[in-house]
Amino acid sequence: MTKKSASSATPCPCGGATYERCCARWHEGPLAMQAPTAEALMRSRYSAFVLDKLPYLLASWHPTTRPAALEPNPSDLKWLGLSIKQARDQDANHATVEFVARSRQAGRAHRLHEVSRFVREGGQWFYVDGDVS
């Protein structure tokens, strides 16, 4: 398995600034796993999917719904972009983020439209689950 990487000048996969100034800080280093909002966690998880940062994806998944393992992206999968439709806080520790993630695999376009649920425990946001439409 080859991990994809992003240089400090690379645009962030989530559509933010450079990767270094956007999602990289949540993936590793002193701020790892400390995304301040559910939306920031959602964006960092999308970037982690693009970059095959599987340990981060598992660590940011709530233990009650976390899969035992994740597979890296197939070699012919290309992520095309993320669009956040809506981010809502239900209260201080619960939030939802509606997003559309676009990809292409084997020449076919795919669109994932999900309303994801997040919970904050011990000051850390976790992805719980989502409804795909």
- Residues 108-127 have pLDDT tens digits of 999 999 999 999 999 999 99
- What is the pLDDT at residue 11? 95
Q: Is the pLDDT of residue 15 over 60?
A: yes
Q: What are the DSSP calls for the chain, one per residue?
A: -------TTSBPTTSSSBTTTTTHHHHSSTTTT--SSHHHHHHHHHHHHHHT-HHHHHHTB-TTT--S--PPPPTTEEEEEEEEEEEEEEETTEEEEEEEEEEEETTEEEEEEEEEEEEEETTEEEEEEEEE-
- What is the pLDDT at residue 2? 40
Q: Is the pLDDT of residue 86 over 50?
A: yes
What are the structural domain ranges in the chain?
Answer: 24-132
Q: What CATH code is assigned to 24-132?
A: 3.10.450.50
Q: Is the pLDDT of residue 1 over 50?
A: no
- What is the pLDDT at residue 7? 58
| pTM metric for this prediction | 0.92
